[in-house]
Chains A and B, each alone.
Chain A
Amino acid sequence: EAQVTQNPRYLITVTGKKLTVTCSQNMNHEYMSWYRQDPGLGLRQIYYSMNVEVTDKGDVPEGYKVSRKEKRNFPLILESPSPNQTSLYFCASSRRIAGAHNEQFFGPGTRLTVL
Chain B
Amino acid sequence: GEDVEQSLFLSVREGDSSVINCTYTDSSSTYLYWYKQEPGAGLQLLTYIFSNMDMKQDQRLTVLLNKKDKHLSLRIADTQTGDSAIYFCADPGRGGYNKLIFGAGTRLAVHP
Contacts and interface: CB of A to CB of B under 8 A. Distances in A.
B46 to A, nearest CB: 11
Contacts of B50: 101
A98 to B, nearest CB: 10
B67 to A, nearest CB: 16
A33 B88 contact: no
A103 B8 CA distance: 24
Interface of A: 4, 31, 33, 35, 40-45, 48, 50, 56, 58, 90, 92, 94, 96, 101-104, 106-109
Interface in B54-112: 88, 92, 95-100, 102-105
Given A42-B105, A104-B45, A31 B8 contact: no
Would you call the interface of chain A mostly helix, strand, loop, or mixed?
A: strand
Contacts of B41: 108-109
Interface residues of B, number: 25
B10 interface: no
Nearest 8 pairs of A and B residues by beta carbon: A106-B42, A42-B102, A101-B31, A43-B102, A106-B43, A42-B104, A45-B99, A108-B42
A42 B7 CA distance: 11
Nearest to B104: A42
25 contacts: A4-B42, A31-B97, A33-B99, A41-B104, A42-B102, A42-B104, A43-B43, A45-B95, A48-B98, A48-B99, A50-B97, A90-B43, A101-B30, A101-B31, A101-B48, A101-B50, A102-B97, A103-B45, A103-B48, A106-B35, A106-B42, A106-B43, A108-B41, A109-B41, A109-B42
B42 A107 contact: yes
B17 interface: no
